[in-house]
Structure 1
Amino acid sequence: MTQTLIALGQLAILWAIYQGSTWLAAFTGLPIPGNVLGIMLLFALLCLGVLKLKHVELAADFLLKHLVFFFVPIAVGLMEWGQVFHEYGLTLLLAIVVSAVLPLLAVGGLSQLLGKGRGA
């Protein structure tokens, strides 16, 4: 019973951070989604020691353990896109491969270029 209450309290902390960051993003007009801002805020609070890991660990572990359930609606929704994948599958695959390989090559080339400048 107490573990459940602790987890609910921790979940309330995570929810408050999410709601606050969503409000902050809307209020300031930042081009960053509230959930991304919330992750950055949570990370900053943990790094600065304002929020200890033990204050959110139980709820975060529960959410991460059951994360797959959040992707079920996406997978079911993709089943309606069968015709699109059939028609444009090769184009989509090419776009995915290029968008994965191009940044990899760019970052690798840039790091090698910067490494040469240091005499490495």
Structure 2
Amino acid sequence: MLSLKQFVVFLAQLLCIWAIYMVSVYITDFYHLTIPASVLGMVILFFLLASGIVKVRSIEMAGAFLNKHLGFFFVPIAVGLMDFGGLIKTSGLQIFIMIAGSTIVGLLLTGSLTQLLAKGERKQHERHNSF
């Protein structure tokens, strides 16, 4: 059970995440961007965290809560798929291949980029320690 102080901190963190999302909604609407506001919000949050403007501890509790209950947020999407039964029957294999293929490409690119960045960081660390 959360204390009142912890609950207020949690709400403040959730408000921070929501505010970033609302900024991304405004940006996508104002500039007529085709990128979903939620994706832009994640990019904005990433840059805010990477630059140190927002500290991880500032959103950690709310982020952990949202991550813990992530599966719950996909239930309405899964239920909504029932409306597309005919499409899934006729094009289900193609849809599955596209989803699987894009997932594999995404994983490979993410893994390769992570290894490349880690390699560069290791080299920089070795150069720094050699002096």
Partner residue of 1:22 out of 19, 25, 47: 25
Quick check: 1:37 aligned with 2:37? no
Task: Decide which moves more: 22-31 or 8-17.
Answer: 22-31
Partner residue of 2:15 out of 7, 12, 16: 12
Quick check: 1:48 aligned with 2:48? no
Q: Which runs of 5+ in 1 are unaligned?
A: 108-120
Question: What does 1:81-92 align with in structure 2 at a 5 Å threshold?
Answer: 81-92=84-95
Task: Supply the distance in 1 between the matched residues of 2:45 and 2:84 (Cα, whole angstroms).
Answer: 36
Q: TM-score, normalised by structure 2?
A: 0.65
Give the match for residue 65 of structure 2.
62
Task: Supply the distance in 1 between the matched residues of 2:33 and 2:84 (Cα, whole angstroms).
Answer: 33
Q: Which runs of 5+ in 2 are unaligned?
A: 110-131
Q: TM-score, normalised by structure 1?
A: 0.70
| Cα 1:62–1:83 shift into 2, 3 Å | same
Q: How many residues align?
A: 104
* Identity between Structure 1 and Structure 2 (%): 43
| Cα 1:97–1:27 shift into 2, 3 Å | closer
Give every structure 1 segment of 4 or more consecutive aligned residues whose post-TM-superposition deviation is greater than 3 Å. 79-101
SS in 1 for 2:35: coil
The superposition leaves residues 51-93 of structure 1 with CA deviations (integer Å, 9 ceiling, x where unpaired) of 1001100001001101111111122223444454344444444
The superposition leaves residues 18-71 of structure 1 with CA deviations (integer Å, 9 ceiling, x where unpaired) of 101110121122332221111111110111111100110000100110111111
